[in-house]
Amino acid sequence: MGKIVSINISETKGVRKKPVDSVIVREDFGIENDAHASGEWHRQVSLLALESIRKMQEKGLKVGPGDFAENITTEGIDLVSLPLGTKITIGKDIEAEVTQIGKVCHNPCAIYHQAGDCVMPKEGIFVKVIKGGTMQSGDEIVVL
């Protein structure tokens, strides 16, 4: 079991996301008011572990939750060890399924240029929303 450290959204893709206290997550869509929410898409919500962000901090970067454009910053779950198809619950209502682990960055981001590396392509995961609801910082994440 893990928890949400930060929920992050942005109006456009490819930028750092800003933290918010809570969001509405819609079934087969994603997080309302976030650029990646679009329905017909297997990467509706992205997750990155705080433990991964700390690796970049140890390299001297001043980064934190949302800086890697992840929607949910987690703590206490080894995200990259979750097989595709794994179901998770977030908070009291939300259910999601792991649809992708890592991603290809065709245009390296500012973080990559600063550090020569970026954790999101290797350690971020993506999920599709099976059941929506409200999510807030501090909510538990449970692997089913």
pTM of the model: 0.90
Residue type for 102, please? Answer: G
Mean pLDDT of the chain: 88
Which CATH superfamily is 2-143 part of? PK beta-barrel domain-like (2.40.33.20)
In this structure, what DSSP letter does residue 136 have? Answer: E
Closest alpha carbon to 120 in 9, 14, 44, 5: 14
Per-residue pLDDT tens digits for 21-63: 999 999 999 999 998 887 777 889 999 999 999 988 888 888 8
Residue ranges per domain, the chain? 2-143
Q: Are the C-beta atoms of 74 and 48 separated by less than 8 Å? A: yes
- What's the start-to-end Cα distance of the chain, in Å? 10
Residue 131: exposed, middle, or buried by beta-carbon count in 10 A (0-12, 13-18, 19+)?
Answer: middle
